[in-house]
Amino acid sequence: MATAPVADQRRLLDVQDADLRAQQLRHKRDTLPQLAQLEELAARLADLHEERIARTAEVGDLKRAVTKAEDDVQSVRAREERDQQRLNSGAGSAKDLQALQGELEVLAKRRSDLEDVELEAMERLEAAEATLASATEQTEALETQVAEVTADRDAAVREIDEQLVAIHDERGTAARDLDAALLALYDKLREQHGGVGAASLVGGACQGCHMTLNAGDLAAILNAPADQIVRCEECGRILVRGA
Full pLDDT tens readout for the chain, 243 residues: 699 999 999 999 999 999 999 999 999 999 999 999 999 999 999 999 999 999 999 999 999 999 999 999 899 888 888 868 877 777 767 786 677 788 878 888 998 889 989 999 999 999 999 999 999 999 999 999 999 999 999 999 999 999 999 999 999 999 999 999 999 999 999 999 999 999 999 999 999 999 999 999 999 999 999 999 999 999 999 999 986
Residue 198 structural domain: 6-26+179-240
Q: How many CB atoms lie within 10 A of CB 112?
A: 11
- Which conformational region is residue 59 in: left (phi greater than 0), alpha (psi within -120 to 50 degrees), or beta? alpha
Task: Check residue 85 and give its pLDDT.
Answer: 81
Give the pLDDT confidence score for residue 78 in this predicted structure.
87
How far apart are alpha carbons 2 and 228 in whole angstroms? 6
Q: Please choose, from the candidates 113, 114, 81, 86, the residue with its C-alpha nearest in 3D space to the C-alpha of residue 99.
A: 86
C-alpha–C-alpha distance, residues 142 and 215, integer Å: 63
On whether the CB atoms of residues 16 and 189 are closer than 8 A, the answer is: no
Residues 21 and 43 in one domain: no
**Among 158, 188, 218, residue at a domain's last position:** 158
Q: Is residue 37 located within the same domain as residue 154?
A: yes
Number of structural domains the chain divides into: 2
What is the value of pTM for the model shown? 0.76
- Whether 57 and 116 map to the same domain: the answer is yes
| Cβ contact 69:118 at 8 Å | yes
Q: What is the pLDDT at residue 181?
A: 94
Q: Is 166 part of a structural domain of the chain?
A: no
Specify the pLDDT at position 97. Answer: 66
**Together in a domain, 115 and 38:** yes
pLDDT of 1 reads 60
Are 45 and 21 members of one domain?
no
